[in-house]
Chain A
Amino acid sequence: MSAPQAGTDGCSHEGMRNGAEPHSLMEHRALRRASLPLIACALLALPPLRPLLDATMTLQMLVQIPLLTTLGWRLAGAVPRGAGDAMGRWNADGISGLVLASMAALPWMLPRALDAAVDDSWVAAAKFVSVPLLIGLPLGISWPRMGFVVRGVFFMEFVATCFRLGWIYLASPGRLCSNYLLGDQQQLGRLLLLIGASVTLLLSARLLFGSFDLAGAAVDRSRHPDGEQPARSR
């Protein structure tokens, strides 16, 4: 029980042993890591990128929102290790993070929200803040903690969502967004089906022909139980 804890505690001890300087150094590094994604998010929220990516439903859903998510994910690199481990107590296997991200993603799948994000600057602000911080960041923090099963649930949910939304957008006879054209909506529908199908094929191929990262994560953990153990033992 003491050996596994050495890994994480070592980190915080180091900070205490060497006084304030390494601590501020760590903060500095965290700040540097966070600044790039934050600046990129701000750029996405301002002209010319915002009107450009708001121009069609397809760009907003398949470029702008995924970019914001990715940038939020990158922010996870700026979260100090200790903080991540402390949260681990409430985030076993990254499940809480996955639930938070899923919940935060739900509103941004509503045609109404996509519309409002174009018309209403408050809704737009909510999008540019919530997508990186409530979808990307929790996923970034939680992904390394997720084992095979939780990642499997994530992918299943992702693929199912692509098919559900794609099907709705294709099947709807009328426009669901009053800011966007029907052709745009149908193109988005087709692309969502394509993405869902591609992810399914890719996952199936990896499951069938080995070298499966997700399986790797699970194997890693059983091979080096120390890696994930400290948080669990607390």
Chain B
Amino acid sequence: MRALGTLLVSLAFAAAGGLVLAGATDGFQAFTTETARRIDVRAHPRPLPAIVLESDRGADLALASYRGRWLLIDFIYTRCETYCSALGGEFARLQDLLAAPIAEGRIALLSISFDPEHDDPEALHAYRKRFGDRGAGWTAARPTDAATLETVRTSFGLKIVPDGLGGYVHNVALVLVDPEGRLVEIVASGDPQATAALLRARISS
């Protein structure tokens, strides 16, 4: 009887544990926060926050002004010498690969800085130049006050951790926004060919 009771209780515990684990991993799909974020965005597109940034030309740039175009956003800080350099190079490459739809005004690229203290319009402009900006379709911008920066962090699920050397480590990914201004997909960075193909598929669908 003890063996049976123990078996039943153990099975109940194991089943409950399995359920909890399934719940905690979106059905055994997402074991990390980043994967969970990507799954969540794909399942539930979110509206872009209604914020106004300062562009690298020093002008006001409302995110809402991108309505009607597909928008690809990355998040950077210009002092970064690792990932953000790769991201900069990637955006320049995307300008080449997507030159036609960019010229037609169907796609735009936006780099948002999360280090507005250091990244004034000059620094942002220099950042674009440094990575070989092709001159069309790519803007860099910064939030100008703490509240806007906080909105950027929360609405895009940005995680920024000081690296202990004066810089930051952050989750690196490209955020895709549809013409209705909804955040619809989070794309892995590092493969501009694949990203360009994805965008072409999106605009032609």
| Interface residues, chain A, with chain B CB atoms under 8 Å away | 88-93, 95-96, 99-100, 102-104, 106-107, 110-113, 115-116, 175-182, 231-232, 234
Q: Are B17 and A104 in contact (CB under 8 A)?
A: yes
Cβ of B62 under 8 Å from chain A: no
Are A181's CB and B169's CB within 8 A?
Answer: yes
Cβ contact within 8 Å between A178 and B171: yes
Judging by beta carbons under 8 Å apart, are B33 and A177 in contact?
yes
Flag if A102 contacts B9 (CB, 8 Å).
no
Tell me, yes or no, whether B2 is within 8 Å of chain A by CB: yes
Does B163 sit at the interface, judged by CB under 8 A? yes
**CB-based contact A96/B6 at 8 Å:** yes
Given A90-B6, A178-B33, A181-B169, A107 and B24 contact (CB-CB distance below 8 Å):
yes
Which one, A92, A99, A175, contacts B3 given CB within 8 A?
A: A92
- Give the docked Cα–Cα distance between A99 and B9 (Å): 9
Chain A residues whose C-beta falls within 8 Å of the C-beta of B13 in the assembled complex: 96, 99-100, 103
Please give, as numbers and ranges, the residues of chain B lying within 8 Å of A232 by CB-CB distance.
2
User: 7 tightest A-B contacts by CB?
Assistant: A103-B17, A178-B159, A92-B6, A99-B10, A96-B9, A115-B33, A92-B2
Q: Is B36 an interface residue (CB 8 A)?
A: yes
A89 & B2 in contact (Cβ 8 Å cutoff): yes
A179 touches B161 (CB 8 A): yes
Closest CB of chain B to A100's CB: distance in Å?
5
Whether A102 contacts B17 in the complex (CB less than 8 A), given A112-B24, A181-B169, comes out as: yes
Q: Interface SS of chain A: helix, strand, loop or mixed?
A: helix
Q: What chain B residues lie within 8 Å of A181 (beta carbons)?
A: 161, 163-164, 169
Question: Is the beta-carbon distance between A177 and B9 smaller than 8 angstroms?
Answer: no
Interface string of B1-42 (1 = CB under 8 A from A): 111011011100110111011001100001111111000000
CA A111 to CA B163, docked complex, whole Å? 19
Chain B residue with the shortest CB-CB distance to A138 = B13
Select B30's contact among A88, A103, A112, A178, beta carbons within 8 Å: A112
Count how many chain B residues have C-beta atoms less than 8 Å from C-beta atoms of the other chain: 30
- A182 CB, nearest partner CB in chain B, Å: 7
Rounded to whole Å, the gap between the CB of B152 and the closest CB of chain A is 16
Residues of A within 8 A of B1 (CB): 89, 234
Q: Indicate if the CB atoms of A103 and B20 lie closer than 8 Å.
A: yes
Chain B residues near A92 (CB, 8 Å)? 2-3, 5-6
A101 to chain B, nearest CB (A): 9
- Given A107-B21, A116-B33, does the pair A180, B5 have CB atoms closer than 8 Å? no
- Give the chain A neighbours of B34 by CB distance below 8 A: 178
Residue pair A96, B10 in contact (C-beta under 8 Å): yes
CB contact under 8 A between A112 and B25, given known A96-B6, A175-B169: yes
**Known contacts A92-B2, A103-B14, A116-B33: does B20 contact A182 (CB below 8 Å)?**
no
Q: Are B6 and A91 in contact (CB under 8 A)?
A: yes
Contacts of A178 on B, CB cut-off 8 Å?
32-34, 159, 161, 171
Q: B169 and A89: CB pair below 8 A? A: no
Which residues on B sit within 8 Å (CB–CB) of A91?
6, 9
Across the interface, which residues of A come within 8 angstroms of B159, CB to CB? 178-179
Chain B residues in 8 Å Cβ range of A111: 31-33
The reply to whether B36 and A112 contact each other, CB–CB distance below 8 Å, is yes
**Known interface pairs A96-B13, A99-B13, A179-B161. Does A112 touch B31 (Cβ–Cβ under 8 Å)?**
yes
The interface residues of chain A lying within 8 Å CB-to-CB of B33 are 111-112, 115-116, 177-179
- Cα A106 to Cα B25 in complex, Å, equals 11
A87–chain B nearest beta-carbon distance, Å: 9
**Separation of A179 and B163 alpha carbons in the complex (Å):** 11
Contacts of A96 in B (CB 8 A): 6, 9-10, 13
A113 to chain B, nearest CB (A): 6
- Shortest C-beta distance, B185 to chain A (Å), equals 18
Pull 30 A–B residue pairs with CB atoms less than 8 Å apart, ordered by A: A90-B2, A91-B6, A91-B9, A92-B3, A92-B5, A92-B6, A99-B9, A99-B10, A99-B14, A103-B16, A103-B17, A104-B17, A107-B20, A107-B24, A110-B24, A110-B25, A110-B31, A111-B31, A112-B25, A112-B31, A112-B32, A112-B33, A113-B24, A115-B32, A176-B31, A177-B33, A181-B161, A181-B163, A181-B164, A232-B2
